[in-house]
Amino acid sequence: MSTRRTALPGVGTRYDFATRGGRRLSVVVHQDGRRFLGFYSADDPDACQESVPLEPDEATELARLVTPSPLDGVPADGLDLVTGHLPLDARSPYGGRPLGDTRARTRTGASIVAVLRRTSAHPAPGPDFRLAIGDTLIAVGTREGVDTLAAIIAGG
């Protein structure tokens, strides 16, 4: 399988690939961060059959769901632990604030075990670690705890 990259001047970049089953897919990454997922016929690779617009956070979640990961559910002594990738976007009240302000473990029982930033990873961040818009928090806990933490981080 190979991916073909095509610059779209004034728009962004289009990435095309075909599955082993013959389905043709494209992802158009706009300059403003929006993405479109398109489905094409093998008979006519220029005729889009279906298009799904995705906001940046939706594209991130879709990527998380389709990326094979051994960390999605880790059984430990009969307990089901999960990991969550929690994006910190502009709606979050925690941008620019210390991690300790989230009170994640106290409020949810879930732990933030790492913070991914555009150019770096920060494992085991302490309570004084300053969060930034665009960070992705890696949390471990029960499904309920991680889901509750995701809502807190999102500003819910």
Into which CATH architecture does domain 73-153 fall?
2-Layer Sandwich (3.30)
For the chain, domain boundaries? 3-66, 73-153
**Beta strand pairing call for 79-87 and 111-117:** unpaired
Rounded to an integer, the average pLDDT of 56-62 is 73
Look at residues 87, 89, 147, 73 and name the one whose alpha carbon lies nearest to residue 116. 87
What lies within 8 Å, CB to CB, of 123 at 6+ separation is 113, 114
Amino acid identity at 51: S
Amino acid identity at 109: G
At 43, is the pLDDT very low, low, confident or very high (cuts 50, 70, 90)? confident
pLDDT in tens, 1-32: 567 888 888 888 888 877 777 778 888 887 77
Dist CA 88 CA 133 (whole Å): 5
pLDDT in tens, 77-91: 445 678 888 999 999
Amino acid identity at 12: G
Model confidence, pTM = 0.53
- In this model, does residue 73 exceed pLDDT 50? no
More confident residue, 151 or 13: 151
- In this model, does residue 75 exceed pLDDT 60? no
Dist CA 23 CA 105 (whole Å): 44
